[in-house]
Amino acid sequence: MRAKRSPAKKAAASPKLVRERSASSRRIIERLRKICLALPEATEKEAWSEPTWRVKGKMFAQMDDYHHGSSHCAVWLPSTIEAQEALIAADPKRFFRPAYVGHKGWIGVVLDTGPDWEVVAELVRDAYRRIAPAKLAALLE
């Protein structure tokens, strides 16, 4: 029978990787954090070494800070395929189809090239409305 490891030994055996972020990335994340956490009952949780924002445990925004070799700092938001296609067609330097979830209609929004933060905030609110329970989504009206 294997001996159980103490919590301290478990932590030492699998240390959490700490990503060193640039000052620019930290400012972008902080600005996005303020937008997301201003929404009713929104919470933040780290996943895949990136901040994510959720409501009632369901994700409505995920940070992409040059993750897996990405060429930009961005946020991924749930949307519709139609909205995704329209945004990408209108401004392919600002919007993109993110890996893993793009086929479901999620939209990537580039944040490290001087975005219009009012547009970003509205896209975040739209994503929140898609994910939040109706009672919470109604609070944004």
- What pLDDT digit, counting tens, does each position of 70-127 carry? 678 999 999 999 999 999 999 999 999 998 788 899 999 999 999 999 999 999 999 9
| Exposed/middle/buried for residue 33 (C-beta within 10 Å: 0-12, 13-18, 19+) | middle
Using the 8-state DSSP alphabet, how is residue 14 labeled? S
Confirm whether 59 is domain-assigned.
yes
pTM score, whole prediction = 0.82
Confirm whether 14 is domain-assigned.
no
Q: How confident is the model at residue 49 (pLDDT cuts 50, 70, 90)?
A: confident
Confirm whether 122 is domain-assigned.
yes
Closest CA to 139 of 39, 60, 37, 55: 39
Output phi, psi for 127, to 5 deg. -65, -45
Confirm whether 90 is domain-assigned.
yes
State residue 23's pLDDT score. Answer: 86
Confirm whether 6 is domain-assigned.
no
Tell which phi-psi region holds residue 44, choosing left (phi > 0), alpha (psi between -120 and 50) or beta: beta
Looking at the 3D structure of the chain, how many domains does it have? Answer: 1
Q: Which domain holds residue 99?
A: 23-135
State residue 66's pLDDT score. Answer: 67
Output phi, psi for 41, to 5 deg. 60, 20
Mean pLDDT of the region 66-72: 68
Confirm whether 18 is domain-assigned.
no
Confirm whether 63 is domain-assigned.
yes
